[in-house]
Amino acid sequence: MKWILIAILIFVIMLIAIRLSDQYKDKYDFYFNLKNFLNQFKINVSFRQDKLTDFVANVKPKKQFKLFIDAYSEYLKTNKLNLSEIKILEEEEKNELTQIVMSLGKNDSPTEIMQLENFLISVENNLSSAQENKNKLCPMIIKLSLLFAIGLAILLI
């Protein structure tokens, strides 16, 4: 019975650790998708010039980025942007994202492209930072959690 309880404890700790590390992976994925989204939009503005609503409707998002696309689609309909569902971003990051999306589609194509290039630089910085955190913190969280679980198990034995 004792061994089963210890196994469950280790399993739960590791599960929490994976969930924690997933946050960093999700954030990296989010910025990766945002970068792709802005790049694709830049191409659209340069060539096809589809309307923003049509362009957004054709995006096939996943996970956290889907929450953003849903919120943005709603904004295009109602003019109200609600990013509260996106838990992985801090307030400052949400403000930055709000600034970006609210500026989209407000200019002629050369200005829009120039603006998108500036946004891409900023998103690229966030992506690098998210990648650094993902590469550094994810293995660390897993390793520390494993050590913690083993230590706790030894104590209980």
Binding interface with other proteins (CB under 8 A): 45, 49-53, 76, 104-112
Q: What does residue 104 show for φ and ψ, rounded to 5 degrees? A: -65, 140
CB of 100 to other proteins, least distance (A): 14
Say whether 107 sits in a helix, a strand or coil: coil
Helix (H) or strand (E) holding 120: helix 109-156
CB of 113 to other proteins, least distance (A): 8
Choice between 4 and 79, CB closer to other proteins:
79
Choice between 18 and 76, CB closer to other proteins:
76
Task: Judge whether 42 and 113 are in contact, CB under 8 Å.
Answer: yes
CB of 103 to other proteins, least distance (A): 11
C-alpha 6/C-alpha 46 separation (Å) is: 60
Choice between 99 and 109, CB closer to other proteins:
109
